[in-house]
Structure 1
Amino acid sequence: MALDTHPLNSLGFAKPPAETRVVVAMSGGVDSSVVAAQLAEEGYDVVGVTLQLYDHGAALAKKGACCAGIDIHDARRVAEQMGFPHYVLDYENIFRDAVIEEFADSYLGGATPVPCIRCNERVKFKDLLETARDLDADCMATGHYIQRKIGAHGPELHCAADAGRDQSYFLFSTTPEQLDYLRFPLGHLPSKAATRALAEKYGLSVADKPDSQDICFVPDGNYAGVIEKLRPGAAEPGEIVHADGRVLGRHTGVIHYTIGQRRGLGIGGLTDPLYVVKLDVDTRRVVVGPKDMLATRVVPIREINWLGDSPFDSQKEWHVSVKVRSTRPPREAIIRPLSATAAQVELMTPEEGVSPGQACVFYQTDNSRILGGGWIWRGA
């Protein structure tokens, strides 16, 4: 007797949506709210989960900063409206240990960290994903703008259809095992306007909610202020020095500067523009120089997560495109593996402002596939 096989549903499972449980990571914003509402309307067994990661009041050391509370409230309202259960999990300790502490240490070490990547890697796609498994979910869905496609060797990570919303830079460390379990229902949409149109269609109260622009635990954009609260005494003064050795002035702390910075150096009266080219934490010196000193061609990276079909170190060279900053388009490059998790990346066109602590993300040159990436760990 032939077995009755059910066609694949929209999440890729051979069973009806009602028998498919999906945990949706809900931030309280419009993107994840639309994902949850859409899946609920399609008949899936949706469970919404919101993580309480930080206390804005503590982060800013002022009263009335209740943004985190508002986000949780907004997520809960969507769940109530669409008729699925919603849970709030206290992940403050995990988030502080896995993300905020490293952010502070990296900044104090003269790096330019990207905590959103670490949050996806160490909290959302690790601890939350395990929670989804504990809830017997078939998969976990998020509101990220990225695509998951099935290739010849299994699930592949691809850029979002809307290049302006693409979040691949922040998701390069997603492992093959995680990718097998994750779903990204918004990745194929042509624009953010299309997402907001869906929010209107479902009558969601967050349809017009503005996008968050800053790092969640630095809602006012003042990184140095947060670092000083996390590491009292960290902002020690020092010298601003030209690359040729001249002392040009004083600063109030290395943490106030980033590689490539031009404005706000406090060394006016010079004819030629100067940029921060190096942060010397040991001597508390901010080194400045002309723009051409920022150009970097060879970038050392480590902690590589590889999403290619054959082992990373099975070839001497990989000809790819790479991003060394989230805001820059991919550029042609050659990756030369040093081990399974370390490499040197040679940029065919030198990039300015390449900084330790940033990510270097790999892309296939002939299509939208993301091949992984790693962390820039020191100047070339």
Structure 2
Amino acid sequence: MSAALNKNKVILGLSGGVDSTTAALLLREKGMDVTGLYFDVSCGNEEGRRAAEQAASEIGIPFIYRNVNQLFESTVIDNFCREYAAGRTPNPCVFCNPTVKFKILTQEADRIGAFHIATGHYANTACSPQLGWTIRRAANEKKDQSYMLYRLPAEIIKRLLLPLSSMEDKQQARAIAREQGLFNADKKDSQEICFIADDENYADYIRRRGFTITEGDFVDKEGKVLGQHKGLIHYTIGQRKGLGITFGKPVFVIGVDPVKNTVTLGDHEDLFSREVISSESFFPATGSGRMPEYLENAQVLAKIRYAAKPAPARIKTMPDGRILAAFEEKQRAATPGQSIVFYLSDCVVGGGFIE
């Protein structure tokens, strides 16, 4: 990164939705020189490109288009399909942010001489002597997206501006866009998985991409065969509906075994565990999977999924390098492939993929 980068210049990920558009408005109101960057992850999303370009035009900022389909395919989509095929439940946004979105934002910022990068995420940043640069929770706990950003390194975070960090709710962002007469002020929220069409489910998507879906056995905790499942990708830990099998009482998916191609069913209480093990960890303070010394055996708050409430836990590094989180209270349905994210107060200090 060049020392000559302009600290009044910022490049913002502009999707054409109300969040990123409002973020651009707020940055411009602060006197920042804003450029909008649209990522095309699907190789020809003309509707998305037109929306982003229109947003940039109405705000009055320069617009850059980048086709990142090849990078997105080889990283995010490939990981998504392979994880599901292996009986895990990935979160593609967590994987995309460091490998695609913020990577390209930083490259383009360097190219145009901008120090800052920005997005419409509901989160904040912070810097302290102990933690260094970290992602911080947003003011609105329900909208907070800090969980999605835990794999960002400190060198990215120190350049990051998150204008929506203090928004109380999304209606506040919509109101700002509406006041400016922007076309997307009342545009509906984007779908959960950006690369899968509204009329297609993820199982069909994975099958269409050439992955073989093999039927196997439902089993109980003792290994007794209970019936046939239609393929591991159709099931996730904690699932109760759509099993295609009935027992006269509620049963839940409590385990998925890709080696044996089995789905284990059990009772609701079987879903609760006090200890959660994670791998492929990342800690912003070290820029790697190595846990900082001040976190070893430390009491933190931990989330085992995006919508979960942070819960007290003590974390430590295991002999094999994985991270063990021991919660004060049992957590429901810790799901392999999802992320566990650690906080000190409201600052993200690390996390990893649940094993």
Normalised TM-score (structure 2): 0.91
Q: In the TM superposition, what are the counterparts of 1:1-380 in structure 2 within 5 Å? A: 20-54=8-42, 68-152=45-129, 154-220=132-198, 222-232=201-211, 234-268=212-246, 270-307=247-284, 312-315=291-294, 316-338=296-318, 342-364=322-344, 367-376=345-354, 378=355
Residue identity matched to 1:108: A
Superposed displacement of residue 223, structure 1: 1.2
Rounded to whole Å, the distance in 1 between the matches of 2:48 and 2:321 is: 37
CA contact (8 A) 1:47 1:86 kept: yes
Residue identity matched to 2:202: Y
Residue identity matched to 1:343: I
Percent of aligned positions that are identical: 34
Residue identity matched to 1:276: V
Rounded to whole Å, the distance in 2 between the matches of 1:69 and 1:78 is: 14
CA contact (8 A) 2:40 2:65 kept: yes
CA contact (8 A) 1:259 1:353 kept: yes
Q: For residues 330-357 of structure 1, what are the alpha-carbon distances to aligned partners after superposition, in whole Å with 9 as ceiling and x for unaligned?
A: 0110001237963211111111211111
Do the aligned partners of residues 54 and 219 (structure 1) sit closer, same or farther apart at CA in structure 2, a change above 3 Å counting?
same
CA contact (8 A) 1:238 1:251 kept: yes
CA contact (8 A) 1:144 1:184 kept: yes
Rounded to whole Å, the distance in 2 between the matches of 1:318 and 1:213 is: 37
SS at match of 2:158: helix
SS at match of 2:114: coil
Rounded to whole Å, the distance in 2 between the matches of 1:257 and 1:143 is: 32
CA contact (8 A) 1:313 1:337 kept: no
Q: For residues 100-145 of structure 1, what are the alpha-carbon distances to aligned partners after superposition, in whole Å with 9 as ceiling and x for unaligned?
A: 0011110111111011011111011123312221221121111000
SS at match of 2:93: helix
Rounded to whole Å, the distance in 1 between the matches of 2:31 and 2:107 is: 24
Rounded to whole Å, the distance in 2 between the matches of 1:371 and 1:130 is: 25
Superposed displacement of residue 309, structure 1: 9.2
Superposed displacement of residue 328, structure 1: 0.9
Residue identity matched to 1:255: I
Rounded to whole Å, the distance in 2 between the matches of 1:50 and 1:339 is: 43
SS at match of 2:139: coil
Rounded to whole Å, the distance in 2 between the matches of 1:176 and 1:339 is: 26
Superposed displacement of residue 313, structure 1: 4.1
Normalised TM-score (structure 1): 0.85
Do the aligned partners of residues 151 and 295 (structure 1) sit closer, same or farther apart at CA in structure 2, a change above 3 Å counting?
same
SS at match of 1:138: strand
Partner of 1:59: none
Please list every run of 5 or more consecutive structure 2 residues that lacks an aligned counterpart in the other structure.
none
Rounded to whole Å, the distance in 1 between the matches of 2:18 and 2:319 is: 41
CA contact (8 A) 2:39 2:66 kept: yes
Do the aligned partners of residues 229 and 335 (structure 1) sit closer, same or farther apart at CA in structure 2, a change above 3 Å counting?
same
CA contact (8 A) 1:172 1:361 kept: yes
Superposed displacement of residue 87, structure 1: 1.2
SS at match of 1:103: helix
CA contact (8 A) 2:135 2:149 kept: no
CA RMSD of aligned residues (A): 2.3
Rounded to whole Å, the distance in 2 between the matches of 1:302 and 1:198 is: 41
CA contact (8 A) 2:119 2:161 kept: yes
Rounded to whole Å, the distance in 2 between the matches of 1:128 and 1:122 is: 11
Rounded to whole Å, the distance in 2 between the matches of 1:38 and 1:164 is: 21
Aligned residues: 346
Stretch moving more, 146-155 or 169-178: 146-155
Rounded to whole Å, the distance in 2 between the matches of 1:161 and 1:257 is: 34
